[in-house]
């Protein structure tokens, strides 16, 4: 089955309900080579690097928490965290469809969203809508190539991130297991995109190393 990119402008309040569930309606797998429900946990050092470079005031919502790899780092840094997910991984509050949420559950939103079937685009736009009410920041871990796509051009020009942190090394393994990685996944490169409703429309690019924040 071919995968279609959901245009960011196609995500309206009336269409966000069950959007995440609808994207997975044909089953838990987006593609035979992808993890079920796009479950690629974020390595702790990626979140630590973000927190070393970016300040978040107030509570944080992690809406695709998985087994808590991002949420645990946020909590360790002293943040009040609300963790939810569509799937029950035994962490946070399960069976919560982020794109169906109509009210913000915290001031800021930090997550590594699912990417398949346009969900990454939908998560970004919905997070911006929700945090417009709170004045908080949005931080999304995204493949760096997501910056360059003709269907996203208008989204980025209309909603430019305040800063993009290009990570030198970050591997999001399927289910957190390196042995399951495909060759294409090994070449994947990531960045944190951070939106700040109080910033100007200018985007800054920063290079961020995860090396100081790795264990061992």
Q: Is the dihedral of CA 194, 200, 203, 207 positive or negative?
A: negative
Tell me the longest C-alpha to C-alpha distance in the chain: 48
Q: Is the pLDDT of residue 33 over 90?
A: no
What is the pLDDT at residue 171?
95
Taking phi over 0 as left and psi of -120 to 50 as alpha, with beta for the rest, 32 belongs to: alpha
| pLDDT tens profile 151-200 | 899 999 999 999 999 999 999 999 999 998 888 888 899 999 999 988 77
Q: For domain 8-213, say whether CATH 2.50.20.20 is its number.
A: no
- Structure-token match 């290079």, residue found: 207
Cα–Cα distance list, 168 to 206, 208, 210 (Å): 11, 6, 7
More confident: 133 or 5: 133
| pLDDT tens profile 194-203 | 999 887 789 9
**CA-CA distance, 124 to 138, in Å (whole number)?**
8
Q: What is the mean pLDDT of the chain?
A: 87
Quote the crossing angle between the two packed helices 69-76 and 44-53, to the nearest 10°. Answer: 40
**CA-CA distance, 173 to 2, in Å (whole number)?**
23
pTM over 0.85: yes
What is the pLDDT at residue 107?
98
| pLDDT tens profile 42-68 | 999 999 999 999 999 999 999 999 999
């Amino acid at each position: 089955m071919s995968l279609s990119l959901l245009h960011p402008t196609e995500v309206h309040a009336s269409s966000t309900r069950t959007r995440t569930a609808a994207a997975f309606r044909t089953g838990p797998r987006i593609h035979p080579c992808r993890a079920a429900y796009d479950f690629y946990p974020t390595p702790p050092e990626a979140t630590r690097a973000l927190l070393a470079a970016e300040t978040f005031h107030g509570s944080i919502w992690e809406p695709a928490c998985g087994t808590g790899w991002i949420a645990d780092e946020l909590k360790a840094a002293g943040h009040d965290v609300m963790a939810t997910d569509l799937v029950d991984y035994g962490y946070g509050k399960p069976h919560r469809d982020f794109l169906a949420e109509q009210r913000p559950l915290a001031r800021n939103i930090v997550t590594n969203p699912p990417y398949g079937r346009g969900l990454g685009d939908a998560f970004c736009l919905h997070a911006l809508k929700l945090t417009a009410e709170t004045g908080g920041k949005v931080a999304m871990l995204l493949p760096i190539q997501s910056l360059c796509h003709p269907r996203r051009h208008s989204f980025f020009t209309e909603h430019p991130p305040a800063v993009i942190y290009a990570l030198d090394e970050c591997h999001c393994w399927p289910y957190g297991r390196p042995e399951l990685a495909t060759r294409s996944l090994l070449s994947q490169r990531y960045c944190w995109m951070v939106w700040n409703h109080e910033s100007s429309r200018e985007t800054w690019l920063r290079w961020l190393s995860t090396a100081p924040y790795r264990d061992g």
